[in-house]
Chains A and B, each alone.
Chain A
């Protein structure tokens, strides 16, 4: 009877529900938008929604990405709209080898306020967007789901434009700063790549990842380097899984726009410039100090000047620290991987797992100095089993380069972890 059961759920709503449905810190409340769409959808359909300036929606959740006019399709390319700025991070979050176009837009006359730690204070009305895309695998059509696994961010990008004949757009996530707090909205691109539609329950996209970095023009040799990937667009709650940093408070916040992550050199038409200084010069950022601006290491850039430990810690901070911090949802584990954590045991050195269950992989400690192969951290990064894999989202594929980085770092650590005694089965019975 699996799967075929008749679905007739019902929702009963108690009469005591307060009419004021706005709850500070709650994720987006797109239902009104859904209702609005149902009533007005036919009227809107005829319009060309992408033209004109960025549109602010102070409530509700538009059904289509184009309703925001943050990005527009122009001459076969996806480009940021006027006043929308693309930006990059020192070490981005890994998401199944997807590439990301990040943009920020703030209402005219407003700006972000600098903070040394944590996300900048961004004005009400700010729209952050992150578009996930893959360069198409060589010789494949857009519809066949074959996309490239490559670290090269320049593929399909020309002069800040995503060439639609060279990439497959998957999803665009918006973070919108409203008076009552941030809301997250996941939009999924249609097959024709003309627009993206709000999908609060997420979506699944079947892809084939074709390794490009190790393959030459000889397509035949790529056959062995293809892996199927069930790309998962997160649902609204899963958005919160990463973006709620204080689990007790449960309010959403951006992760990327911090001094540490944005403090990097970028190519501009006027040459190489510091990204934060560019923001400040453009009037997007106030209070940028002249000195002592923190900078996260560039974990995996081929030309990264940063030392091994800094690169490893930067990777762990971005990919794990949003949950594994003293206030995050993974504080239940006692394992903290955010950049502020210094105590080795908290970082996992000789720390037994608490509730890893079978995620432990028959290993005793999160990190065994000098022994990446005995470290649970590496084991979980190298798995795609949903009951084992870490991070829990965006990990349908193993991030091989990161496994290598973290392994190298653990191999460089010195020390030993204790051995067992007392009452115990494994050592004494030998099962």
Chain B
């Protein structure tokens, strides 16, 4: 049955108009139909994004498309879909304007099956929004690691209910996949390679990070809390990932938080609380397979911390991981000295390294205090925690596990309504 009422609705008429639009644009530009100039292509896509309606699926065909200015979307409920992360390529190598490749400020947003390459700033930034899915998107700087590369590959910030899956992030001078100040997040089955930070969960409440491969980054998977922000993060589970040989020299610009990440760090937890690391395969990360640190180790001593900010990593639980190799060439002189002094010329640093800063209000000397609710607990077979005693200039490092032989209650799984 033909629904005439629906045909007459503005939405239908406009959809028809939109389909005819490319031809008229091409004619207006004086080009042969179907072969608009790169500028026209960019304008067409941006026009689509501006005129989008909730429920629209904007499909970008196979091909490589050049952009000189960033794209943006502010309409809720839109899906952007390419023909595959190696088939539909949005290239920003010639970008002259805009701080991102694609900036989205909208909810109920899905982007899938395309690549964003060589942006001057972030590749894909989603600033505020609920129900965001990023699927099979590749964010890459094609020249490989370089300080001049953009900062973040896939970057949802101040978002809620976020799913990032089967994506690829390569070459970010900060983090390949970076979830900031968000809530209820799943990052699964992605690949992060040759970034400074492969995957970073920052100031986020409730994240599950699993099934990912993080390799050849400076640091593989990071769980961070930074000061000065409206939301402090907690409750992240990092499990069933492959975190292998993240030994790329740190190429982040000075001043960034990840600049402090030591090359050869597998999983890094900095100043975050209630973090579980379990069931991962973490191997050949040459500083340490797991690094647990306070904000004092991020390059900003800043003893006058921001009011209300907790600089200490607390309630950390490392268990059931498969560790192999690593710890043989720490990217810091003091740690290298410790390695040789404590474990011999051919020795390796233990799998779990802790900077040793702990809240003075909670324990006189954390290393000797009995385990408590805030402790860093390690229950991982032969693996030990190495307190390198950074607060005292690495004077009294220890592998005494007394304060770390403990358990925490396990965190619940993240569920996103309608997705999992």
Contacts and interface: CB of A to CB of B under 8 A. Distances in A.
Interface in B28-60: 34-41, 43-60
Interface in B154-181: 155, 157-158, 173-174, 178, 180-181
**Best-surrounded residue of B48, B121, B122 (most CB of chain A within 10 A):** B121
A385 B34 contact: no
A332 B255 contact: no
A267 B11 CA distance: 51
Given A230-B96, A331-B230, A425 B332 contact: yes
A14 interface: yes
A376 B293 contact: no
Interface string B227-260: 1111000000000000000000110111111011
A422 B41 contact: no
B174 A357 contact: yes
Contacts of A1: 63-64
A354 interface: yes
A363 B68 CA distance: 28
A329 interface: yes
B55 A363 contact: no
B47 A200 contact: yes
Given A13-B53, A424-B299, A358 B151 contact: yes
A202 B42 CA distance: 11
Interface stretch (B15-23, B186-194, B378-386, B395-403): B15-23
Contacts of B262: 423, 425
Given A13-B56, A354-B226, A2 B250 contact: no
Contacts of B252: 358
Contacts of B155: 355
Contacts of B68: 204
A3 B65 contact: yes
Given A425-B260, A429-B331, A201 B180 contact: no
A364 B50 contact: no
Contacts of B293: 422-423
B4 interface: no
A335 B149 CA distance: 23
A247 B250 contact: no
A423 B128 contact: no
Contacts of A15: 6
A421 B301 contact: yes
B143 interface: no
B297 interface: yes
A21 B52 CA distance: 11
B34 A7 contact: yes
B46 A360 contact: no
Interface string B85-114: 000000101011111000101000000000
B340 interface: no
B150 A387 contact: yes
Nearest to B295: A422
Interface in A1-41: 1-17, 19, 21, 26-27, 29-32, 34-35
A386 B99 contact: yes
B63 A5 contact: yes
A307 interface: no
A200 B51 contact: yes
A160 B224 CA distance: 56
Nearest to A357: B151
Contact of A357 (B15, B253, B306): B253
B255 A423 contact: no
Interface string B261-303: 1110000000000000000000000000001011011111111
Given A354-B226, A364-B255, A12 B57 contact: yes
A247 B105 contact: yes
A343 B333 CA distance: 38
A240 B73 CA distance: 11
A201 B88 CA distance: 22
B148 A358 contact: yes
Contacts of B52: 11
A296 B268 CA distance: 46
**Best-surrounded residue of B50, B74, B148, B150 (most CB of chain A within 10 A):** B50
A422 B69 contact: no
B55 A422 contact: no
**Best-surrounded residue of A17, A202, A345, A346 (most CB of chain B within 10 A):** A17
Contact of B174 (A247, A358, A396): A358
A289 interface: no
A155 interface: no
Contacts of B355: 422-423
Nearest to A353: B255
Given A7-B22, A425-B331, A21 B10 contact: yes
B118 to A, nearest CB: 11
A30 B131 CA distance: 27
Contact of A364 (B51, B148, B178, B300): B300
A420 B299 contact: yes
B17 A35 contact: yes
A9 B58 contact: yes
A418 B303 contact: yes
Contact of B45 (A6, A9, A30): A9
Contacts of A431: 249-250
B74 A237 contact: yes
Contacts of A334: 227-230
A387 B99 contact: yes
B302 A13 contact: no
Nearest to A374: B255
Given A352-B257, A386-B97, A27 B149 contact: no
A290 interface: no
Nearest to B61: A8
B243 to A, nearest CB: 19
B181 A235 contact: no
B9 interface: yes
B53 to A, nearest CB: 6
B66 A9 contact: no
B46 to A, nearest CB: 4
Contact of A232 (B69, B122, B263, B303): B69
A392 interface: yes
A2 B44 CA distance: 17
B345 interface: no
A60 interface: no
Contacts of A201: 43, 46-47, 50
A352 B300 contact: yes
A423 B96 contact: no
Nearest to B81: A12
Interface of A: 1-17, 19, 21, 26-27, 29-32, 34-35, 200-202, 204, 230, 232, 235-238, 240-241, 247-248, 250, 329, 331-332, 334-335, 345-346, 350-365, 376, 385-387, 389, 392, 396, 418-426, 428-429, 431
Given A3-B64, A13-B53, A429-B332, 5 more contacts: A2-B91, A334-B227, A364-B300, A392-B98, A422-B355
Closest 9 CB pairs of A and B: A357-B151, A5-B63, A360-B255, A334-B228, A362-B254, A387-B120, A14-B55, A422-B297, A423-B297
Interface of B: 6, 9-15, 17-19, 22, 34-41, 43-66, 68-70, 72-75, 91, 93, 95-99, 103, 105, 119-122, 127-128, 147-152, 155, 157-158, 173-174, 178, 180-181, 226-230, 249-250, 252-257, 259-263, 291, 293-294, 296-304, 306, 331-335, 355, 357, 388, 390-391
28 contacts: A2-B66, A2-B93, A3-B66, A8-B61, A9-B44, A17-B54, A21-B11, A26-B74, A31-B17, A32-B10, A202-B46, A237-B103, A250-B74, A329-B105, A331-B158, A352-B255, A353-B257, A355-B151, A355-B155, A356-B255, A376-B255, A392-B99, A396-B97, A421-B390, A422-B293, A422-B298, A424-B297, A424-B299
